[in-house]
Amino acid sequence: MRIVVLAGGIGGARFLRGLKKAAPDAAITVIGNTGDDIHLFGLKVCPDLDTVMYTLGGGINEDQGWGRADETFRVKEELTAYGVGPGWFGLGDRDFATHIVRTQMLAAGYPLSAVTEALCERWQPGVRLIPMSDDRVETHVAVEVDGERKAVHFQEYWVRLRASVDAHAIVPVGAEQAKPAPGVLEAIAEADIVLFPPSNPVVSVGTILAVPGIREAIAEAGVPVVGLSPIVGDAPVRGMADKVLAAVGVETTAAAVAEHYGSGLLDGWLVDTVDAGTVERIESAGIRCRAIPLLMTDEDTAAEMAREALTLAEEVRA
């Protein structure tokens, strides 16, 4: 069975670990969000691609859900000693090696998709990880700080500001001109199932869908498209998705996110049992819905969620 998953960072990566367990024989292609990418110290950092690669490859800092395990921060300390910032983005020594290899290969002319494939040679994530595009897309957030309106890079909004100020707009800069990376449209066309994991619907899955051609390819693929709500009991399970949902005028509920994706795209939607009361509303929007436990406390619960998503996909297909 060929499964395509549109993944962002931590939630998507943890779901993928469960999906691999639930469907060990499936060929899984992950289309990774690159809107979170940031250029620091002359290096290209791809947080969501790295989180998937490290999580599935066994190198992730499990508590954080990002960055490497057994990390040290000597380089960061030395940069700070030189007064070179930003200090708010915690890049560890092991992680720096990934960004050095990536930047070196990009400078040699390899596209991001080829670089990602090369990095995965080492990590063997057990899925094919393709960036949504080889073109530069960077999510910027329009905020108002001290009465002044400005756009900040998503990472500054997310990490330095901790989403503590309202986001007035979320702009995936460069998305309109971006092309799907080689293999993305082919993977969707050949897929038996497309899954939207519990990643951020605006800045992760939403950014991937903003690359021209990807949303259309999924809508026209003619296969079940099933998503899992990242919102449980009117609050994000982790992260600050509520802040970015508000920016795009979507209420922070499991039903509103399903309607935001739309029945033209989504065939099935899994909500948590605490949101069982919303199943009827979602089904009336033309999206099959089931309420199951959605808290990914460990690999087994993630695998159970993945099994439920695959089951719902077969019900939709029937």
**Binding region:** 50
Q: Which of residues 82-141 bind ligand FO1 (CB under 6 A)?
A: 89-91, 95
Contact between 36 and ligand FO1 by CB under 6 A: the answer reads: yes
Nearer to ligand FO1, 51 or 252 (CB): 51
Site stretch for ligand FO1 (CB under 6 A), options 3-11, 21-29, 108-116, 163-171: 3-11
Nearer to ligand FO1, 205 or 221 (CB): 205
Which amino acid, 12? Answer: G
Nearer to ligand FO1, 89 or 261 (CB): 89
Contact between 158 and ligand FO1 by CB under 6 A: the answer reads: yes
Concatenating the DSSP letter of every residue in 209-255 gives HTSTTHHHHHHHS-S-EEEE-SEETTEESSTTHHHHHHHTT--SSHH
β-pairing, 2-7 vs 193-196, is parallel
210-220 in b/e form (b: 16+ CB < 10 A) is: bbeebbebbbe
Q: How far is the CB of 226 from ligand FO1 (least distance, A)?
A: 22
Q: At what angle do helices 299-317 and 10-22 cross, to 10 degrees?
A: 70
Distance of alpha carbon 172 from its chain centroid, rounded?
14
For 276, phi then psi, to 5°, come to -55, -30
| Residue whose beta carbon is closest to ligand FO1 | 9
Answer for which of 139, 155, 252, 253 binds ligand FO1 (CB under 6 A) is: 155
Answer for which of 4, 22, 43, 51 binds ligand FO1 (CB under 6 A) is: 51
Nearer to ligand FO1, 18 or 67 (CB): 67
Residue partners of 191: CB distance under 8 A and separation at least 6: 2, 3, 4, 29, 221, 223
Nearer to ligand FO1, 153 or 260 (CB): 153
Binding mask 54-93 for ligand FO1 (x = CB under 6 A): ------------xx---------------------xxx--
Q: How far apart are CA 19 and CA 194, in angstroms?
A: 12
Contact between 34 and ligand FO1 by CB under 6 A: the answer reads: no
Q: How far apart are CA 103 and CA 134, in angstroms?
A: 13
